[in-house]
Structure 1
Amino acid sequence: MSRIKYLLISLLVGFALQIQQVAYAQKVKITESFSNQSLDQILSTLSGKYNLKFAYDPVALNQISFTGQFRNDSPDKVLKQLLKDSGFEFIALNNVYVIKRAEKPIVEEKNKPIQGIVRDRISGEALPYASIRVVDNDLGATTNTDGFFTIPDVKSDSVSIEVRYLGFEPLQMRVARVQYNSKPIVVELDPKKFILADVEVVRNITSMLATGDRPGEMVFDTKKVGDIPGISGIDILAPLQLLPGVDGNTESLSGLMVRHSPADKNLISYDGFTIYHINHLFGAFSSLNSKAIKDVRLYRGGFDSRWGGRASSVIEITGKTGNENSVSVDAGTDQLAGDFTFEGPLGKHASFIVSARRSYTDFYRSPQFLNLFESAASDLMLSKQNFTAFGSDPDAPSYLFYDANAKVSVKPSNNDILSVSGYVGRDRLNFLQMVSSPFINENALWGNSGAGARWAKQWNSWLYQNFTIGISEFTSNYQHYDSTLKRRGMQPVYDTIVRNYATETGLNDISVNLNAQVTLSNQIILELGYQSNLVNSKSSENYYHAVNSLPVADTLRQNDFNSRVNTGWLQFNFKTNGLKSLVIGGRVSQHNLTDQYYVEPRVQMVISPTSKLDLKFAAGLYNQFINRIYLTGNGVRYLWVASDEKTFPVVKSKHFVTGLNYTSNGLTVDIEGYAKQTEGLSYVQTVIRRTSTNRFVEQSKIFYVDSRSFGVDVLVRKTWQNAEGWVSYSLSKAFNQSSTLNGGDEYYALDDHLHELKLVGLYKWRKWRVVGTWIFGTPKPWDELLLTPNLTLSPDYEKNSSRLEPYHRLDAGLSYLAKVSVSGELEVGVKVFNLYNRDNMLARPYTLTDTPVSDYLQGKSIIEYHDIYGYSITPTFFFNIKF
């Protein structure tokens, strides 16, 4: 009996206490105001200020936000309002408000997405094309240009995702499904670091290079461009020549050839505008500064419907938006130029970056500069006198270059990005040699400038939009005059040879792009867009060559055009188990000069039999309406022309790509076979003929050529804890054919070479870094003319039938990196281009001799070959500081 009494008393006391607690809770009156705060934060505030107890899942409630206010409201009323339409409910148990999912599902409750943005934890920069994978299933996504991603139709309340990006530590994290009006999840990645025994962070260590998710795609870590030995340590495009399928034997980025297509067939897109000229010092290195660039991707062929206007490849460059967390300064110098980069936040919602480089070459002529200049501008026939470094030698070349990048980005909301970016790169040359024959006067000013404005918005979990307006301007004014007195054999007679060459080009490009991405489900993404491109150009070329006032060559070309192309494009991206991606789409373009429509179907497919192996395929049609005509001489001498199907044809190309990619434990094997057919290429060919008055004249004619190339590109890459290396190998053939050349028979293209091998190795030990690259290429063709005694082409002549010597060179670098503050770094080092000083002959173009008539009468050849050699050994000492 006493035991029953005890139980009854206990129950009564407990009930009384509970009534008392409930009574206390009901007496509590809450007065608060909340603005877009998560429920997790709100409940934490209520618990601390009003002594209320809650039990809930913080991960789930952290993704639900609330905006509103309460005035003298009870806890029950507040909780009902907070949890309205959230799919959660509350009950009071033992003085604790337990918040749980509603037992009866809300009618509107469906599978909800995971929506977020991937950023650099240090700078706050959004990371484009990062890979996101849901652990333990086949769901996944890739961030867009602005770092946004969406994984729709997620059934679980929360899942684990894995995020990867080149040059950053991979991250696994638990995330919850989101409400449609909530903020995107922010995923922050840490840059990869190498930790020494004394716990000092030295530098990013591995993964300089990666293969992309699409056929033909290659990606470089822009922070590691300086690791590659070259003439310039901040050259963003030089590392591309170490990739399979990119010709590494040209030593000139003005001749960056991808899978045997001319350089102008590459689209170089920088923040929405097109760059037409990319190099300094006649092609010695590029004018694009890696310190201002966040991401660079090369699509070597078979690219999808997002891209158009070029027939070979795409180089997509995304500029940095600037450090969003703190101010950063980066400065560097070498024997040619100095550079400076300044970036930081502008308030809470904006950031900026300014980067500039200028050469010293107009007042300091280093041995490196004179070596490069004489090789790059060999047609100037520099005298062999020794110029002083700082002197005012009247015959020394006056040359300078500069480039600058700037960008301002504004984020008015978590889902909006507004940015304005600009770029300018210029070269200027003045050369006057009047002390001895030949007397030379050359003046040139050339370069590219551009600006882009873009607005990107993630409207909701399924719609992303990107609107871009780009403006680009290319100018080139080149004038060369030389006069030579040449003795006629042993006779006391001198001939006066005069050459006068001038080109003027002004090109303006305006482009408007509106693109959208619609995520229909986990399996289907729809991409579509509209593009309008207006190009206006005026150019002229004048070449005059005379002997004793008698013309040997007299060519005048003028072009004036307004080209307008309007394009609509559409593509579907499908993926299922085992099918990583199937992209089917196309472009439809209308060109005003031809008044025709052009249809370009495209397809890409990547199949993944296992998590380590991808099988890939791509095919498509590609049209190009603005093309470059290469002229004789250095890299400044070319003209841009528009296709009208009268004077110049539309360039049309067909791409077929197939291959595989295998990745496991730091090893990557990528193999791609390709076949490419291109028609409508325009080339300038020198024609020599004999007149009825027994004179010889040189004519520069334009010929229309079709080409075909095929080959296999192989990349084998391996990374270790403190080293990285890869082998690039290409086996390929390239042929040209024209009804008016070589009797109509097919002949070898000038860039044909059967084998090309590139070896790259990088090793880091403590604060030291050693890097080496070796390039080998089998001989390329050159056009050896075979003439009969009456100076007509011999029946034995075959165009481009002779071969140069094999090409090979070794580049090496050594550098030391030290910490100077918590976030500051100091780096010094030396890089050597062509370490064993190999004399590589790159080409053998020909012209008439200065005195063809007298040479003919003396039984000499009237043909003169101008051998073009690569750069000799070129050491570069550099210094860089960042804080």
Structure 2
Amino acid sequence: MLKTKYLFIVFLCFSIFSFGLQSQEKLSILALIKQLETQFDVKFSYTENDVKNVFINKPLVTDTIEEIISSLNASTLLNFKFLDDRYITVSTLNKRIKICGTVTSKLNNKPLLGASVYVKNTSKGVITNIDGVFNFSNITVDETIIISFIGYKTASFSAKELMLIDGHCKTIVLEEDIEELNQVLISKFLITGLQKRTDGSTVLNTKKFGTLPGLTEPDILQSIQAFPGIESVNESVANINVRGGTNDENLMIWDGIKMYHSGHFFGLISAYNPHLTNKVVVIKNGTSSEFSDGVSSTINMSTKDVIGNDFSGGFGANLIHADAYFEIPISKKLALHVSGRRSFTDVFNSPTYDNYFERSFQDSELTTNSDNITDGNRSSDFFFYDYTAKLLFDITDKHKFRANVIGINNNLDYTESYQNSDGITESKTSNLKQENLGLGGRWDAVWNTKLTTRLSAFYSKYNVDATNYRIETDQRLTQANEVLETGVKLNTYYKINNVFKLLSGYQFSEIGILYETTVSAPSYDRVKKDVLLNHALFSEIEYRNNTTYLRLGVRGNYFQKFNKLILEPRLNLRQKLSRHFAIKLQGEFKNQSANQKIDFQDDFLGVENRRWILANEKEIKISESKQASFGFEFNQNNWLLDVEGFYKLVDGITASNQGFYNNFQYVNAEGRYNSRGVEFLLNKTADTYSTWLSYTYSINDYEFASITPSVFPNNVDIRHSVSLAFNYNVLESLEASIGGIWRSGQPFTKPIDGNETVQDGNNTRINYDAPNNENIDDFMRLDASIAYDFKFSETVLGVFRVGVLNILDRENTINRYYEVNPEDTSKAIQINNKSLGLTPNISFRLNF
């Protein structure tokens, strides 16, 4: 009897437990609605998108319809409302919820540290911790959450899908992308949107980019100057100096297209619209063997490469230009991304424009008057524009095709009017135009889990055309410089195992350059055309585990015209010695066959005097560089200390492409320069702020065997350079940034005291002292920016930014040279080029 009693109790407990399980059975809202409509003879009105993927505990069959509706309102994010006894409406609530998740890799199921998680069309974002976990509060249910990690496919979720339920967070598994990139070492480097990778390169993500001092938008070529070892001695993105090199030594690639032009407004504004340029990879040393050219650096820009589900874009304006970009999904497999930007400087002159104009055109014919031409008889119109378009076609999950076009244009018209001997007013217009057109396409293919390929091709055309009428001499000067380059590249990526990867490939390029000058009186014509074919094979092996990163590569370049083979070994090593401390060693050989020549006597209206020329292995050699660097990193508690020493030797430079403002500017001489120094960076980041201090010490010397003295300081020998900045999120939507730059003055050559000029036949020229033996005053500038993000509507984000360059209005000299005094030819006139004065700018954007 007792045994039977126990069996009955066990059966009763089991029945109650089973009934509890049954009562907790999960049921979709859609299924429940259909069930309730049949059971209670009611009708529900709803939108399917609002109720799909919503599951609840199955209500007890004994509940009345009123009790069930009350329970649904309490347990879901939906609003059930009786219109009458029979009709019930269902809608979403604008509730604030808490979301969370754990982001892991599909490759090894390990958590991803530093994955970016942000709310679409807002500035709200976090990064995952060491366990791959993220948390968000105060999120509305209808918002979209974007989760991304470099080297992985981006994922998006509705906030409802990530809602914290019963203390449980959703696990998000990210798949590796076709283009497997280097592991991110530091996810927030200097500011949000900058990341440092294991191979030492730096990634700038423009979509998530924070606010740098003085900037009102993520100007690509301005932003990279925040890195140690990268600066512009004359404040121009058309003259970026990386470890003492000249601007033409930087390889610039936009979506696989080699570009020959970098700046609007003749160098003060980047020519690449940042709002479709998704990321920028900057490499100073240890470059992958797939890249050549650019003996000083590689700046690799790429646009967004994912087909989205929704139409999105943005438009905005500042005091110089207006722009717009759109991402247009045509189907699930086809999309079009377009952007355009144009200045309005030809119809409206803002204070920002006036400062830029004065800075760009100082000492040119536009700002220096002739004796018989007054300001009232002079006028100029300047404008620029750029555009991009990208077609994205996912043929299958494993085969993708992309096609791109980019166009960049600067145009300057300069008109002079005067009265002739008959009293008739005549006008003559000079013109300067810069254009760069690029076309590109690529096919990415995944053949199996180990082998992927990328086949790409590009066409790049760069033109500078100038017509200069000189009224004083009734002379017409016409100049042209045209670069045409086509290239094809095949990359094969083979994954040997989880730690070894192999890259091999072939590249062919053909480059032709036209160089032309014509003069009407006296009649003169000079035309030079050169073409060069280059075949290259490259290969590298990459090894990576938890403590060691090693990449060894070699590239062979064969120049068909010269029957010349140049081998380029590459090395990139990073070794962790402890959890927080690592050493790094990098080295590379590189070459460059196209450089810029600087003409002062034929100077494109005095504005743009750089023209591309091609090596001929006679008076102009192929430039070759050898570079090595060694350093260490210490990273703990969001503190980063990065110290790196470097040595760089570039052989095959010419005096004509260095921009001498002394007696060497017309000398045909071949030489070299070597730059060596130390880069120091201290960076502290937190959720609401970031601050950094960088210092670069370097020594940069020329060596020209045919010049006396043969060794002297480089024109960009900046011994000391310091950058200090502080970025702070005052509020969730308000960000402020302030920072300063100080650096040593640029070298210059002065005349000999007491004997400033010398007679040379019928000409008088400056009698120069020892070359680059003096330095202009130190350069110092303090900048600040404020950014405010706000919701214009549920789907539109507004961004308002204010930036001020040189807020102390310090007068900096950025270059100094001398001319013979026309009133007293025994004396020299000192001419100082000045930097930007106090320059404010304002921008407003709407993104959707």
Please give the TM-score of this superposition, normalised by the length of structure 2: 0.73
Q: Once the 2 structures are TM-superposed, how far is the Cα of residue 562 of structure 1 from its aligned partner? A: 0.9
Against the structure 1 CA distance between its residues 798 and 131, is the aligned structure 2 distance closer, same or farther, given a 3 Å change threshold? farther
1:403 to 386, 390, 397: 386
Report if the CA contact (8 A) 1:742-1:799 is conserved: no
1:66-465 superposed matches below 5 A: 147=152, 173=171, 207-215=192-200, 217-225=201-209, 227-230=211-214, 233-321=217-305, 324-382=308-366, 395-434=378-417, 441-465=429-453
1:818 to 780, 790, 806: 790
Larger deviation, residues 219-228 vs 668-677: 219-228
Against the structure 1 CA distance between its residues 345 and 790, is the aligned structure 2 distance closer, same or farther, given a 3 Å change threshold? closer
1:752 to 705, 712, 717: 717
Q: Once the 2 structures are TM-superposed, how far is the Cα of residue 240 of structure 1 from its aligned partner? A: 0.8
Identity score, percent: 22
Take 1:526 and 1:286, find their aligned partners in 2: how far apart are those partners? 35
Larger deviation, residues 301-310 vs 597-606: 301-310
1:698-709 superposed matches below 5 A: 700-709=666-675
Matched, 1:672 2:648: no
Q: Which amino acid aligns with 1:661?
A: E
Corresponding residue number in structure 1 for 2:83:
none
Matched, 1:765 2:717: no
Report if the CA contact (8 A) 1:559-1:641 is conserved: no
Against the structure 1 CA distance between its residues 541 and 737, is the aligned structure 2 distance closer, same or farther, given a 3 Å change threshold? farther
Q: Once the 2 structures are TM-superposed, how far is the Cα of residue 846 of structure 1 from its aligned partner? A: 3.9
Corresponding residue number in structure 1 for 2:741:
775
Q: Once the 2 structures are TM-superposed, how far is the Cα of residue 607 of structure 1 from its aligned partner? A: 0.4
Larger deviation, residues 439-448 vs 252-261: 439-448
Take 2:175 and 2:847, find their aligned partners in 1: how far apart are those partners? 40
Take 2:838 and 2:654, find their aligned partners in 1: how far apart are those partners? 35
Report if the CA contact (8 A) 1:630-1:637 is conserved: yes
Corresponding residue number in structure 1 for 2:583:
615
1:873 to 803, 824, 838: 838
Take 2:340 and 2:734, find their aligned partners in 1: how far apart are those partners? 28
1:830-841 superposed matches below 5 A: 830-841=802-813
Take 1:234 and 1:679, find their aligned partners in 2: how far apart are those partners? 35
Q: Which amino acid aligns with 1:615?
A: I
Take 1:710 and 1:673, find their aligned partners in 2: how far apart are those partners? 8
Report if the CA contact (8 A) 1:555-1:700 is conserved: no
Against the structure 1 CA distance between its residues 812 and 688, is the aligned structure 2 distance closer, same or farther, given a 3 Å change threshold? closer
Against the structure 1 CA distance between its residues 176 and 740, is the aligned structure 2 distance closer, same or farther, given a 3 Å change threshold? closer
Matched, 1:522 2:506: no
Larger deviation, residues 274-283 vs 239-248: 239-248
Q: Which amino acid aligns with 1:568?
A: L
Report if the CA contact (8 A) 2:766-2:819 is conserved: no
Take 2:833 and 2:419, find their aligned partners in 1: how far apart are those partners? 23
- Unaligned 5+ runs, structure 1: 8-44, 46-111, 125-129, 136-142, 150-170, 195-203, 386-391, 485-496, 690-697
Corresponding residue number in structure 1 for 2:817:
845
Report if the CA contact (8 A) 2:253-2:300 is conserved: yes
Take 1:439 and 1:672, find their aligned partners in 2: how far apart are those partners? 58
Paired residue secondary structure (2:709): helix
Cα deviation code 1:21-50 (max 9, x no counterpart): xxxxxxxxxxxxxxxxxxxxxxxx9xxxxx
1:441-840 superposed matches below 5 A: 441-483=429-471, 501-541=477-517, 558-576=527-545, 578-579=547-548, 581-632=549-600, 636-684=608-656, 700-744=666-710, 746-766=711-731, 767-786=733-752, 787=755, 790-791=758-759, 797-840=769-812
Please give the TM-score of this superposition, normalised by the length of structure 1: 0.71
- The root-mean-square deviation of aligned C-alpha atoms, in Å, is 4.1
Cα deviation code 1:816-855 (max 9, x no counterpart): 2211222321122321111111111111234555x4xx74
Corresponding residue number in structure 1 for 2:103:
none
Q: Which amino acid aligns with 2:706?
A: T
Take 1:283 and 1:175, find their aligned partners in 2: how far apart are those partners? 44
Q: Once the 2 structures are TM-superposed, how far is the Cα of residue 286 of structure 1 from its aligned partner? A: 0.7
Cα deviation code 1:192-219 (max 9, x no counterpart): 999xxxxxxxxx995343322113x222
Against the structure 1 CA distance between its residues 193 and 701, is the aligned structure 2 distance closer, same or farther, given a 3 Å change threshold? closer
Q: Once the 2 structures are TM-superposed, how far is the Cα of residue 314 of structure 1 from its aligned partner? A: 0.2
Q: Once the 2 structures are TM-superposed, how far is the Cα of residue 345 of structure 1 from its aligned partner? A: 1.7
Take 1:234 and 1:176, find their aligned partners in 2: how far apart are those partners? 28
Against the structure 1 CA distance between its residues 2 and 843, is the aligned structure 2 distance closer, same or farther, given a 3 Å change threshold? closer
Paired residue secondary structure (1:414): coil
Against the structure 1 CA distance between its residues 193 and 325, is the aligned structure 2 distance closer, same or farther, given a 3 Å change threshold? farther
Against the structure 1 CA distance between its residues 424 and 131, is the aligned structure 2 distance closer, same or farther, given a 3 Å change threshold? farther
Paired residue secondary structure (1:326): coil
Q: Once the 2 structures are TM-superposed, how far is the Cα of residue 364 of structure 1 from its aligned partner? A: 1.4
Paired residue secondary structure (2:742): strand
Q: Which amino acid aligns with 2:833?
A: I
Q: Once the 2 structures are TM-superposed, how far is the Cα of residue 281 of structure 1 from its aligned partner? A: 0.6
Corresponding residue number in structure 2 for 1:154:
none
Q: Which amino acid aligns with 1:540?
A: E
Q: Once the 2 structures are TM-superposed, how far is the Cα of residue 603 of structure 1 from its aligned partner? A: 1.2
Cα deviation code 1:111-166 (max 9, x no counterpart): x9659999988789xxxxx999999xxxxxxx9997479xxxxxxxxxxxxxxxxx
Number of aligned residue pairs: 686
Q: Once the 2 structures are TM-superposed, how far is the Cα of residue 370 of structure 1 from its aligned partner? A: 2.2
Against the structure 1 CA distance between its residues 172 and 458, is the aligned structure 2 distance closer, same or farther, given a 3 Å change threshold? farther
Q: Once the 2 structures are TM-superposed, how far is the Cα of residue 321 of structure 1 from its aligned partner? A: 3.1
Paired residue secondary structure (1:264): helix
Take 1:639 and 1:776, find their aligned partners in 2: how far apart are those partners? 31
Take 2:811 and 2:392, find their aligned partners in 1: how far apart are those partners? 47
Q: Once the 2 structures are TM-superposed, how far is the Cα of residue 737 of structure 1 from its aligned partner? A: 1.1
Take 1:186 and 1:428, find their aligned partners in 2: how far apart are those partners? 40
Against the structure 1 CA distance between its residues 613 and 240, is the aligned structure 2 distance closer, same or farther, given a 3 Å change threshold? same
Cα deviation code 1:656-688 (max 9, x no counterpart): 011112222222222111000111112327799
Q: Which amino acid aligns with 1:770?
A: A
Corresponding residue number in structure 2 for 1:94:
none
Larger deviation, residues 837-846 vs 515-524: 837-846
Q: Once the 2 structures are TM-superposed, how far is the Cα of residue 482 of structure 1 from its aligned partner? A: 3.6
Cα deviation code 1:474-515 (max 9, x no counterpart): 01002334445xxxxxxxxxxxx7886542011111111110
Against the structure 1 CA distance between its residues 185 and 569, is the aligned structure 2 distance closer, same or farther, given a 3 Å change threshold? closer
Q: Once the 2 structures are TM-superposed, how far is the Cα of residue 613 of structure 1 from its aligned partner? A: 2.3
Report if the CA contact (8 A) 1:532-1:565 is conserved: yes
Cα deviation code 1:641-670 (max 9, x no counterpart): 111211310101100011112222222222
